[in-house]
Structure 1
Amino acid sequence: MSRRGGDEPAPPAALREQQEALTAHLRDPDRHPPPPGLDERGRSVYRRLVFNNLHGLLASTFPVLRRTLDEEAWRELVADFLADHRAATPYFPRVAEEFLAYLAEGRGERPEDPPFLPELAHYEWAELALYTADEDPSGVPADPDGDLLTGTPVRSPLAWSLRYRSPVHRIGPDFRPEEPPGAPTCLVVYRDRADAVGFLEINPVTARLLELMEQEPAPGAELLRRIAAEIAHPDPERVVAFGADILADLRQRDVVLGTFP
């Protein structure tokens, strides 16, 4: 049975224009008028569905950020992301990464935003990303009982060193620093053999030790003496002794898996 007049299917180009007009309206109804032929009730349903789905996904991924911002600021942030950001991936599970890209590159500095906004979001994302990471430490060759000073320590692929200007691990509804402290916050976020994710605040020496473990593997004592030289410590062996305790603690947490066999 043939279609006639207004029942004829829209040409692909016209259909694409209608779709683009609808999605632009759903993203930002204040700046983009709706396409013709869609009543207000239908538009309202679509707008709520799109916004609420995105709101729920981001709230579950960034719960601390969600609780730290007030309700109006949080909803405005989600609405701005929906209106202004153009995703580089079509995959829904990667929306959190798109949100980070928006905060870091697309949003810019705004007087209403707390200074820790992008860093806190990144910290929360890191915990989730580490929990779902595919790397398997059990496949990494390592002697779990090896001597960490005479042997070469093996860093877990599920241990990420992070450095922030703000103390992101302490930020929450009851603690909102207005200005970053003078010293950076160094953290290692890790997933242990039981698949539990934890974090550890570390000092710059430990951060440098983990960096050297990954970039220039060598026996633990050698790495620690190198750090002692870098910081011009008057007693390198004291740094080695102090570092031995650090290495033992990192091994207990599965940040260090052991030594190269």
Structure 2
Amino acid sequence: MDRPIETAAQDFASIQRGFAGHIRDPEGQPVPDGLEERRMAIYRDLFFNNLSSLLRQGFPVLYRCLGQQRWTRLVRQFMIEHRAETPLFPELGRELVTFLAEERTAEPEDPAFMLELAHYEWVEAALLFSDEEAGPELADPNGDLLAELPVVSPLAWNLSYWFPVHRIGPDFQPTEPDPEPNHLVVYRNRRDEVEFLKINAVTQRLLQLLQAGEQRSGLEVLRAIAGELQHPNPDQVIAFGRGLLDDLRERHILIGTANGLS
């Protein structure tokens, strides 16, 4: 008599779990009964090498800083310990950052900058592949940045890191964080290239206020900053801010103003 369909399905699911468990963790999970070791080795290598290659493309600097041995260990840990929330390859970078930030236990040989560098590299890829648009339908590109409401590009991310992630590489691997945070705007320009701009705390505050949704003109925001700084000559702040706003628009970090739209 044929086995019930439910039983056959349960058996197949059990085989799948064993197969996947061994692929993820070949040292901790034996080859499932009835499967040939030689064939499983092909699957093991294919799966690991493909995943490692995909992640290496998204985190090239981290890969070079870790070296092949530590990178291989990291990818294996990721396979064993993490359960991805998405099957989409472009989202693998986010999954690795989540793993580093929330799940993986740090090891003594880890670079101190490891998580921040991984996040920075993920941001670059996320902006490159983002479906967000920053065209004239969102803002008047020729609007008056002082009199009207400047609009920050949705493709400009205002970030802070304790390590100088924009400078880290195989030949520069700091072991201690900087005394002050590194403020960066990572953005996608009009040519769909991802760039970064190192900014100071005042420029970061300007962008924060522009993104706060309080419907304040560029002039009002600059006056607010002058007040926060308790600057003795607010007109100097406004004069400097006028040029800064223009520079941010030229870079496409600001995409124009909201008031000029019909």
TM interval, shorter chain, is: over 0.9
Decide which of 250, 254, 257 is 1:256's aligned counterpart: 254
Query: Structure 1 residue 116 and structure 2 residue 137: aligned?
Result: no
Partner AA of 1:39 in structure 2? E
Once the two structures are superposed, residues 136-179 of structure 1 have per-residue CA deviations (whole angstroms, 9 ceiling, x without a partner) of 22253433233222222111111111111111100101110101
Tell me, in whole angstroms, the C-alpha distance in 2 between the residues paired with 1:183 and 1:67: 26
Decide which of 55, 59, 84 is 1:58's aligned counterpart: 55
Query: Structure 1 residue 33 and structure 2 residue 30: aligned?
Result: yes
Decide which of 236, 239, 242 is 2:240's aligned counterpart: 242
Q: CA RMSD in A?
A: 2.0
Hey, what does 2:100 align to over in structure 1? 103
Tell me, in whole angstroms, the C-alpha distance in 1 between the residues paired with 2:82 and 2:95: 8
Once the two structures are superposed, residues 112-131 of structure 1 have per-residue CA deviations (whole angstroms, 9 ceiling, x without a partner) of 21111111111111111111
- Within 5 A, what are the aligned runs for 1:222-237? 222-237=220-235
Hey, what does 2:10 align to over in structure 1? 13
State the shift of 1:202 in Å.
0.6
Tell me, in whole angstroms, the C-alpha distance in 1 between the residues paired with 2:251 and 2:99: 34
Tell me, in whole angstroms, the C-alpha distance in 2 between the residues paired with 1:226 and 1:33: 64
Decide which of 162, 185, 194 is 1:165's aligned counterpart: 162
Tell me, in whole angstroms, the C-alpha distance in 1 between the residues paired with 2:230 and 2:110: 40
Tell me, in whole angstroms, the C-alpha distance in 2 between the residues paired with 1:235 and 1:63: 47
Tell me, in whole angstroms, the C-alpha distance in 1 between the residues paired with 2:222 and 2:107: 43
State the shift of 1:245 in Å.
1.7
- Within 5 A, what are the aligned runs for 1:123-134? 123-134=120-131
State the shift of 1:88 in Å.
1.5
TM (norm. structure 1) is: 0.92
Query: Structure 1 residue 190 and structure 2 residue 187: aligned?
Result: yes
Query: Structure 1 residue 91 and structure 2 residue 88: aligned?
Result: yes
Query: Structure 1 residue 214 and structure 2 residue 208: aligned?
Result: no
Contact 2:135–2:255 under 8 Å retained in 1: no
State the shift of 1:51 in Å.
0.5
Contact 2:162–2:178 under 8 Å retained in 1: yes
Tell me, in whole angstroms, the C-alpha distance in 2 between the residues paired with 1:69 and 1:196: 26
Contact 1:146–1:258 under 8 Å retained in 2: yes
Contact 1:250–1:256 under 8 Å retained in 2: yes
> Please, which runs of 5 or more residues in structure 2 have no aligned partner?
none
| Divergent runs of 4+, >3 A | none
- Count the aligned residue pairs: 257
Decide which of 45, 51, 73 is 2:42's aligned counterpart: 45
Contact 2:162–2:182 under 8 Å retained in 1: yes
- Structure 1 residues 59 and 141: alpha-carbon distance in aligned structure 2, compared to 1, 3 A threshold: closer
Partner AA of 2:37 in structure 1? E
TM (norm. structure 2) is: 0.92
- Structure 1 residues 90 and 130: alpha-carbon distance in aligned structure 2, compared to 1, 3 A threshold: same
Partner AA of 2:243 in structure 1? D
Once the two structures are superposed, residues 161-198 of structure 1 have per-residue CA deviations (whole angstroms, 9 ceiling, x without a partner) of 11111111001011101011011111111112221221
Tell me, in whole angstroms, the C-alpha distance in 2 between the residues paired with 1:238 and 1:259: 23
Tell me, in whole angstroms, the C-alpha distance in 1 between the residues paired with 2:139 and 2:40: 59
State the shift of 1:241 in Å.
1.6
Once the two structures are superposed, residues 48-106 of structure 1 have per-residue CA deviations (whole angstroms, 9 ceiling, x without a partner) of 01100100100111111111112111111111111111112222332211111101101
